[in-house]
A and B are shown apart, each in its own frame.
Chain A
Amino acid sequence: MIVGERKPLNEIKEKVKDYKKLLILGCGTCVAVCMAGGEKEVELLASQLRIANGLDKKEVEIKEATIQRQCDKEYIEPIVELAKKYDAVLSLACGAGVQLVADMLEPMPVIPGLNTRFIGIAEEEGKWSERCRACGNCVLGEYGGICPITRCPKSILNGPCGGSQGGKCETSKERDCAWALIYNRLAKQGKLENLYKVAPPKDFRTQDFPARQVNENYVKATKTEEKEATAKK
């Protein structure tokens, strides 16, 4: 999932200070799971802003809404009319969601309420950690399902380096050395011979941005359907 964290209240207050009617829009997928931008967090932020505005003697109308996803047009469409009644939208989605909402509500200002952090997993309740850098050329198969690009601060493909000590990384005592993890996993899988191979430098051209992906067959089928429908008319 995409992991995000709420911006500090003072920063949000500053960004929305000029608006008299504000819609706080939550996203019910990734950022809801990481307790940063779902329905509950929208409710909390709205309450905090109402209290802050009350203390500042400011009259601001705050509306709360949460949609399933802000990165899909289908979910944004039903709230477009509602959103247009407001001066600005404070979106609690990841950067992708904020941008699509801003596109669909143009020229309305859409302000981010979160900082988008990484693609990660939930380690335990309240703890998330990064697992994927979206490099576009997955090597997990060679490294026992542990990503050296993401989990090794040096992203080295022929590790470990000299900074690996007692299974920990020299950059932080709390951080496991990805290469120690890889070694142990491959040992359990009986595939240590994988590590005799020297990995060539990784081709990072697959990580070009802005990245785009098209499912040609799907696009073709949709176009054919549209053509047939037009022909029938």
Chain B
Amino acid sequence: MGEAFEPKVVAFCCHYCAYSAADLAGSMRMEYSPNVRVVKLMCTGKVDTIHLLKAIEDGADAVFVAG
């Protein structure tokens, strides 16, 4: 058996809600999966299709937007 597939996930998070929530989770010593890479944005209204595509192009297996 090879290693289990670990998808690389890029999370685009809004500074004012999702990122703050992740930050709070960190303060509470809660853990999230290390294969999630968080990209902080001042507002997820800034997210464009090209940002999602570029993340996948550069090796991400999945992306999500939280805001």
Does B bind A? yes
Stretch from B22-30, B33-41, B46-54 contacting the other chain: B46-54
The docked-state distance in angstroms from the alpha carbon of A43 to that of B54 is 10
Beta-carbon contacts under 8 Å, A159-190 to B: none
Contact present for B56 and A51 (CB under 8 Å): yes
Size category of the A interface is under 10
Majority-rule SS of A interface residues: helix
Asked if B3 CB lies within 8 Å of chain A CBs, one says no
Contact present for B50 and A40 (CB under 8 Å): yes
Beta-carbon contacts under 8 Å, A22-71 to B: 40, 43-44, 47-48, 50-51, 54
The docked-state distance in angstroms from the alpha carbon of A50 to that of B56 is 10
Asked if B57 CB lies within 8 Å of chain A CBs, one says yes
The docked-state distance in angstroms from the alpha carbon of A50 to that of B57 is 7
The docked-state distance in angstroms from the alpha carbon of A65 to that of B62 is 28
Chain A residues with CB below 8 A from B56, complex form: 51
The docked-state distance in angstroms from the alpha carbon of A40 to that of B53 is 12
The docked-state distance in angstroms from the alpha carbon of A40 to that of B54 is 13
The docked-state distance in angstroms from the alpha carbon of A43 to that of B49 is 10
Interchain residue pairs with CB less than 8 A apart (15)? A40-B50, A43-B50, A44-B49, A44-B50, A44-B53, A47-B50, A47-B53, A47-B54, A47-B57, A48-B53, A50-B57, A51-B53, A51-B56, A51-B57, A54-B57
- Per CB-CB distance, the 5 closest pairs between chain A and chain B, nearest first, are A47-B53, A50-B57, A47-B57, A51-B57, A43-B50
